[in-house]
Amino acid sequence: MSTFPTSARSAPVNLTPLDARSRELRKTIVRTMQAGNRGHLASAFSLVEILRVLYDDVLKYDALNPRWSGRDRCILSKGHGCLALYALLADRGFFPESELWKFCRPDGILGGHPEYGKVPGVEASTGSLGHGLSIGIGMALNGRFEGAAHRVFVIISDGESGEGSVWEAALCASKHRLDNLVVIVDYNKQQSYGTTYEVLDLDPLPDKWRAFGFAVTEVDGHSVSALREALRATPFEPPKPSILICHTVKGKGVGFMENNPSWHHKTKISEEDVRSLLAELEG
């Protein structure tokens, strides 16, 4: 079905071009990281289109009233991808852009992992992996109890899927037939040490989720139109919970960062690094 590689056995290649908005968001992410002099840049870059489509086209929310009860709940369970989330939340007006330039600083609200209660629009504090899906299940159960129309979106990573709690949660979501829950996997096939194939293989990932009772769709995680179409089609097969497996590239958009594990988490970013990153994103 796909025009992009879905196996984790080789480094993924994704030739989907980035449009101006995707490049601008990435530049904002680079500048945010520069302000904190650190960050999970590559993990954020694989996530930009997923979050962009969610916040631009899918989620219901009110940025000026982030606790509005009718909002869709969106949990970034792969909290280390927060640079991308911050860029989107600032862009959509949840907080002033000036907060970005205080990333990881003592007087800022934006840390290396997103915190509930500090950052408007953040539904749960994440960072330690394998927590967000269970929290999202509680929220989805409450939504059903209240007869509410809102939905719950939980974004997890592939490395995160090594946590047993993810699969406990998968059993639970399926048992409760939570069709108001959408799990999104940022499947970039890289984790901190190396490829998921080498470190802890997840293939065949769609089959695993299918076996756990989810309705599974796979998509090019950098194609805005494909993501839009897929997310608008949720729930895929009610009453099953939905999972969208997004085939992505870690570091997407910057040649020297793509599939390069040394960019998983970077500290001490030089001016030259920033210049090279921004130059690659000029397009």
Closest CA to 84 of 248, 280, 229: 248
User: Minimum CB separation from another protein for residue 77, in Å?
Assistant: 10
Interface with another protein: number of residues (CB under 8 A):
26
- In the range 212-251, which residues lie near another protein by CB under 8 A? none
> What span, in angstroms and rounded, lies between the C-alpha atoms of 51 and 234?
16
Exposure class string for 126-145: b at 16+ Cβ within 10 A, else e = bbebbbbbbbbbebbbebee
> What span, in angstroms and rounded, lies between the C-alpha atoms of 20 and 49?
12
Q: Is the CB of 106 or the CB of 145 nearer to another protein?
A: 145
Q: Is the CB of 125 or the CB of 191 nearer to another protein?
A: 125
User: Minimum CB separation from another protein for residue 124, in Å?
Assistant: 7
> What span, in angstroms and rounded, lies between the C-alpha atoms of 54 and 88?
10
Q: For residue 27, give the 3-state DSSP assignment.
A: helix
Candidates 124-132, 193-201, 254-262, 267-275; binding stretch for another protein (CB under 8 A): 124-132
Q: Is 67 in the site for another protein (CB under 8 A)?
A: no
Candidates 58-66, 88-96, 129-137, 196-204; binding stretch for another protein (CB under 8 A): 129-137
What are the beta bridge partners of residue 148? none
Answer for which of 23, 71, 131, 189 binds another protein (CB under 8 A) is: 131
Strands 73-76 and 152-157: parallel
DSSP string, 52-69: HHIIIII----TTSTT-T
Q: For residue 253, give the 3-state DSSP assignment.
A: coil
- Fill in the per-residue mask, 77 to 116: x = in contact with another protein (CB under 8 A), - = not in contact: ---------------------------------------x
> What span, in angstroms and rounded, lies between the C-alpha atoms of 80 and 44?
8
Q: Is the CB of 33 or the CB of 139 nearer to another protein?
A: 139
- CB-CB contact of 102 with 179 (8 Å): no
User: Minimum CB separation from another protein for residue 181, in Å?
Assistant: 11
- In the range 156-195, which residues lie near another protein by CB under 8 A? 164-165, 168-169, 171-172
Q: Is the CB of 46 or the CB of 77 nearer to another protein?
A: 77
Q: Is the CB of 168 or the CB of 201 nearer to another protein?
A: 168
Instruction: State residue 14 phi and psi, 5-degree precision.
Output: -140, 115
Answer for which of 7, 10, 65, 128 binds another protein (CB under 8 A) is: 128
Q: Is 134 in the site for another protein (CB under 8 A)?
A: yes
- CB-CB contact of 55 with 88 (8 Å): yes
Q: Is 137 in the site for another protein (CB under 8 A)?
A: yes
Answer for which of 63, 104, 141, 274 binds another protein (CB under 8 A) is: 141
* Footprint of another protein (CB under 8 A): 116-117, 123-125, 128, 130-131, 133-143, 145, 164-165, 168-169, 171-172
